Amino acid sequence: MTIDRETALKAIERMCDRQSIRNFSDRPIPDEDLQKVLDAATAAASAGNLQPVSVIVERDHERGKRLGELCTKQPFIGKASANLIFLLDWHKLSVYAACRNAPFNCNDSWMHFVTGMEDVMCIAQAAETAAWLLGIGSCYIGTAMHSGSEIAEMYNIPQRAYPMLVLALGYPADIPAKRRKLEKESIFFEGSYPDLSDEQICEIYDRKYEGITLSFPKQEEARLAMVEKFRRGLLTTYSPEKTEEIIKEALERGYITEIQRRFGIHYHAVDNYNMGGHILEMMHKQDLYPSKILREGKIEL
Ligand SMILES: Cc1cc2nc3c(=O)[nH]c(=O)nc-3n(C[C@H](O)[C@H](O)[C@H](O)COP(=O)(O)O)c2cc1C
């Protein structure tokens, strides 16, 4: 196989420019290009080459809007030219195994759950990259799993399959400001993990999040609500005294920092635990891991 280096380098340059797109134009993705994206995704790597994945292709705007509602109300999903709904899917393999007298219990195994999710990410990322190379923007939606039962019903998804991820695809209406990333040297460590001091680690993230803050609202009720949410998050990690100290400091400053917002408000530990339970229950209903643990009430190590 001859590689055209110039073309490859151009493609890599384009990949380095990748960013999520949430503002889509009305221009539809031609079927030919969508099929190219799906071809690239089909060739993705797979653990044991089992490919426990199915993808629902949603091109209808009205249904896209409903999907957006179900993905914790993200309206831009309804504007996408196509939405790819990635399922972790042990249904097809379980039927095949039964028809061909092979044993099967992958739907309820922790290892297969993890490798299956890795497969979902591999195929989704192949689609994302192929689309970007063709000038098509996209945004991952991780919140499909919060409404797994409703989405399963909407798309006739059988037992042993579950919607894990959506990729909203469309041509960009505009290119937003780029999100700051960790520097390459803070991700790739040659040979072994370096001895980083706490201070060095803080500097790495301070550089990423520098200048990004969330101000407390001026309006009393909204300010109190934000403080209360922040307090709930902090109490999962700190003593009541330390919690109040952190809140006092933030109120005096007038804002919380990005890392406080990420873990204290947005990716709120308490709420995420609760939502996690809800998701596990829906996965259990679809007869997926950790069904056995929930049925038997124990984890075998
Ligand atoms: C697994 C996963 C789930 C995500 N879920 C959402 C989502 O539900 N809504 C959203 O607007 N963006 C979502 N994103 C996109 C991230 O917010 C985005 O990648 C991140 O802010 C970095 O920005 P960038 O992609 O422009 O570099 C998700 C990304 C990943 C990888």
Tokens of 167: 């990729």
Compute, in angstroms, the gap from residue 38 CA to the centroid of ligand 1.
21
pLDDT at 294: 78
Per-residue pLDDT at 293 exceeds 90: no
Q: What is the pLDDT of residues 149-169, one digit of tens each?
A: 999 999 999 999 999 999 999
Q: Whose CA is nearest to atom 25 of ligand 1?
A: 20
Q: What is the pLDDT of residues 168-200, one digit of tens each?
A: 999 999 999 999 999 999 999 999 999 999 999
Among residues 281, 284, 272, 289, the alpha carbon closest in space to that of 143 is found at 272
Torsion region of 131: left, alpha or beta (phi above 0 gives left; psi -120 to 50 gives alpha): alpha
pLDDT at 271: 65
Q: Whose CA is nearest to atom 15 of ligand 1?
A: 140
Q: How far is CA 137 from CA 18, 69, 152, 274, in A?
A: 9, 21, 26, 32
74 close to ligand 1 (CB < 6 Angstrom): yes
Read off the pTM: 0.95
pLDDT at 291: 83
Q: d(Cα 212, Cα 214) in Å, to the nearest integer?
A: 7
Compute, in angstroms, the gap from residue 258 CA to the centroid of ligand 1.
16
Q: Whose CA is nearest to atom 10 of ligand 1?
A: 141
Backbone angles phi, psi at 50, to 5 degrees: -75, -30
Indicate the top mutation candidate among 140, 179, 187, 258 to test ligand 1's pocket, ranked by most ligand atoms within 8 A of CB.
140
pLDDT at 274: 60
Q: d(Cα 232, Cα 246) in Å, to the nearest integer?
A: 12
Task: Go through the domains of the chain in sequence order and give each one's CATH number.
Answer: 5-170 (3.40.109.10), 211-270 (no CATH)
- Is residue 137 within 8 Å of 51, Cβ to Cβ? no
23 close to ligand 1 (CB < 6 Angstrom): no
- Is residue 110 within 8 Å of 280, Cβ to Cβ? no
